[in-house]
């Protein structure tokens, strides 16, 4: 998606929101200006957003770290493929979110339980693309790397990384969107801070201005994430040619 589409799309949504506010003169639909003023004058919601960002960043970093390593291990080890791949496929197919209460029961720290629950759901959106991208590499690429006496680091940098990055970038926006959705669930337990917790609490109290401010911040996180993903697509565009790490 072209970067200007984000600005045009955001402007169109604000215009539609304004029109809807004018047509429905009710406190249940506050105007964009009222929401913007609330965000500018209330710092507590930013503290909630900051806590959510910490959870998101921790979960995304861990998902890409462990998911990438797991996919790399399965792609390069016959034993890992034999014993781990069936387990990964079953876990990927099942609704993993239903298991999140187990993390709250077994992990003392509320923060770690929330991050672990998000990682457990999103991890496989990194593992599967990594594994499939490496398995799809022609054997000639591996042969060339061996004939040039590549070290493990060189093989990862010049062969594995270019093969895997395109699919991981394509999955990053979906992973972020899924993580933002999971925040609404995981932050309802064993925490008092987080934009998801704030949104649900204010909704139950029928504080509509605060609800719309929370929704706006979550929406902005998704838009910014999509914008960053598109920048990465441009930055690594030469690697989006299928299976051409030596190009």
Instruction: Say what the alpha-carbon torsion angle 229, 231, 235, 238 is, to the nearest 10 degrees.
Output: 70
Angle at 216 between CA 210 and CA 218, to 5 degrees: 105
What pLDDT digit, counting tens, does each position of 148-192 carry?
A: 777 777 777 777 777 787 778 878 878 888 888 888 888 888 888
Global pTM value: 0.82
SS3 content of the chain, % helix, strand, coil (to 5): 80, 0, 20
What does the pLDDT read at residue 198? 93
pLDDT at 241 (0 to 100): 56
Contact predicate 198/48, CB 8 Å: yes
Average pLDDT over residues 82-105: 87
Phi, psi of 75 (to 5 degrees): -75, -25
- Ranking 106-110, 174-178, 214-218, 230-234 by mean pLDDT, the lowest is 230-234
Please report, for the chain, how many H helices and E strands are present, in that order.
Answer: 13, 0
What is the arithmetic mean of pLDDT over 34-56?
Answer: 92
Residue 125: other Cβ atoms inside 10 A: 21
pLDDT tens figures, 110-139: 888 899 999 999 999 899 888 888 888 777
Are 142 and 134 in contact by the 8 Å Cβ rule? The answer is no
């Amino acid at each position: 998606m072209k970067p200007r589409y984000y600005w045009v799309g955001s402007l169109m949504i604000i215009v539609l929101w304004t029109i809807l506010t004018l047509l429905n003169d009710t406190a249940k639909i506050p105007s964009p200006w009222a929401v913007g003023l609330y965000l500018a004058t209330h710092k507590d919601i930013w503290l909630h957003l900051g806590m959510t960002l910490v959870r998101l960043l921790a979960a995304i970093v861990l998902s890409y770290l462990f998911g990438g390593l797991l996919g790399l291990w399965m792609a390069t080890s016959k034993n890992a493929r034999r014993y781990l791949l069936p387990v990964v496929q079953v876990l990927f197919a099942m609704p993993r979110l239903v298991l999140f209460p187990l993390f709250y029961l077994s992990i003392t720290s509320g923060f770690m339980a929330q991050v672990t629950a998000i990682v457990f759901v999103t991890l496989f959106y990194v593992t599967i693309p990594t594994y499939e991208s490496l398995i799809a590499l022609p054997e000639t690429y591996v042969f060339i790397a061996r004939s040039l006496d590549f070290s493990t680091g060189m093989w990862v940098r010049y062969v594995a990384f270019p093969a895997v990055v395109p699919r991981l970038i394509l999955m990053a926006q979906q992973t972020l969107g899924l993580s933002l959705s999971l925040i609404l669930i995981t932050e309802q337990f064993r925490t008092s801070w987080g934009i998801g917790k704030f949104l649900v609490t204010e909704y139950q109290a029928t504080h509509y201005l605060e609800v719309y401010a929370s929704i706006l911040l979550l929406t902005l996180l998704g838009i910014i994430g999509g914008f960053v993903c598109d920048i990465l697509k441009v930055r690594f565009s030469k690697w989006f040619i299928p299976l051409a790490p030596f190009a």
